[in-house]
């Protein structure tokens, strides 16, 4: 039997940019070095940071935990958005998020990120195989 988990998140890029300009330390609290390097290599890094943030939130929602609960302290950094050689974004779970992923028998994670106007959106679908 297969289970499917889904999460989606929408981020207003201008609001996200304002928050990050006022709180420069948030970048290192939320994003890994690889993610930061990728985003800052772009002409407008905030679009890419917002998209990756939306993907992390969508990943948490798909895992069924959201941004609350025990163990959440570093969870945003524990969900990492990396790029395949083709450029396609992929999710990697580390730490506590990785333990939840393993506990739920997640066998595949897909992510889609899109930007349009002042918004970035991401959707995550996780699949898990269960034996009956």
Task: Locate the domains of the chain by residue range.
Answer: 2-129
pLDDT category at 70 given cuts 50, 70, 90 is: very low
pTM of the model: 0.92
Residue 12's CB: how many other CB atoms inside 10 A? 13
Q: What integer is the mean pLDDT of 94-107?
A: 92
CATH topology of domain 2-129: Ribosomal Protein L22; Chain A (3.90.470)
Rounded distance, CA 96 to CA 83, Å?
22
Rounded distance, CA 107 to CA 94, Å?
14
The pLDDT tens digits for 10-33 are: 999 999 899 989 998 888 889 999
Per-residue model confidence (pLDDT) at position 55: 97
Per-residue model confidence (pLDDT) at position 1: 85
């Amino acid at each position: 039997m297969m289970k499917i988990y889904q999460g989606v998140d929408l981020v207003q890029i201008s609001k996200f940019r304002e928050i990050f300009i006022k709180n420069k330390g948030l970048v290192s609290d939320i994003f890994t070095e690889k993610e930061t390097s990728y985003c800052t290599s772009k002409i407008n890094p905030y679009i890419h940071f917002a998209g990756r943030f939306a993907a992390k939130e969508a990943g948490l929602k798909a895992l069924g935990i959201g941004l609350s609960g025990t163990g959440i302290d570093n969870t945003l950094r524990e969900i990492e958005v990396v790029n395949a050689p083709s450029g396609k974004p992929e999710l990697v779970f580390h730490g506590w998020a990785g333990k939840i992923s393993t506990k739920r028998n997640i066998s595949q994670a897909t992510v889609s990120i899109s930007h349009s106007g002042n918004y970035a959106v991401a959707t995550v679908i996780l699949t898990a195989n269960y034996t009956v």
